Structure 1
Amino acid sequence: MFSLSSSHSYFLYQGRCDMRKGFDGLCGLVSAELDRNPTSGEVFVFLNRPRTHIKLLHWENGGFVLYYKRLEKGTFSLPKAMDGHVSLSWAELVLMVEGIQIQKSIQKTRFHI
């Protein structure tokens, strides 16, 4: 309960979101704009226009969970590789939420089954 991990899929809403939206409004954006099912168990990430507020919408057994963070200073920065892609990795999300911006990085290839 109330846990997000690297096993989830993360999707960033590319538009700017009105942070007054609640569960139903955000589910409407997921269905209409991202063309995904809000109750799939995936995590959906929403930012406001100045990128000072972030909401994460997630379906768990029995209902929706909404994570909300408001910055008092600074902004959330988008990952560099966001050229039209809406999918985020767990690492990209953590870096974005924690305010860590990597200027230059090289990801070495790893074996995947």
Structure 2
Amino acid sequence: MSDSSNKTIIATFETREAADLAVEHLVQQVGVDRADIFVQPVGQDNSSGAHVSGGDAPAVNEDGRGDARLSGEIEVSADISANKTAALHRAFGDLGALRVTAK
């Protein structure tokens, strides 16, 4: 991002469900363009989060799932104009982010 009035806000979540909810909230409530939001695992390993939740949870008659790797936290970042920084920090905090940073 070449414009110095823009910021990247990064939030870390324990579950993919929480990360997905954060993306939905940023688009619908804060007005961030979906193309400016990025989701990825925090570490090198592919991961669906640090804890089972939502679609990762086993069904009632299911002992567990082998397809939902729990290798670490999920990072959601958004490239935004500087005037939305406070709103994003608030939104990420309200949605249970473990950490929120800016660069």
Looking at secondary structure, tell me which structure has more helix per residue. Answer: 2
Greater RCO, CA 8 A, separation 6+: 2
Q: Which TM-score tier does this pair reach, normalised by the shorter chain?
A: under 0.3
Using structure 1 for the length normalisation, give the TM-score.
0.25
Using structure 2 for the length normalisation, give the TM-score.
0.26
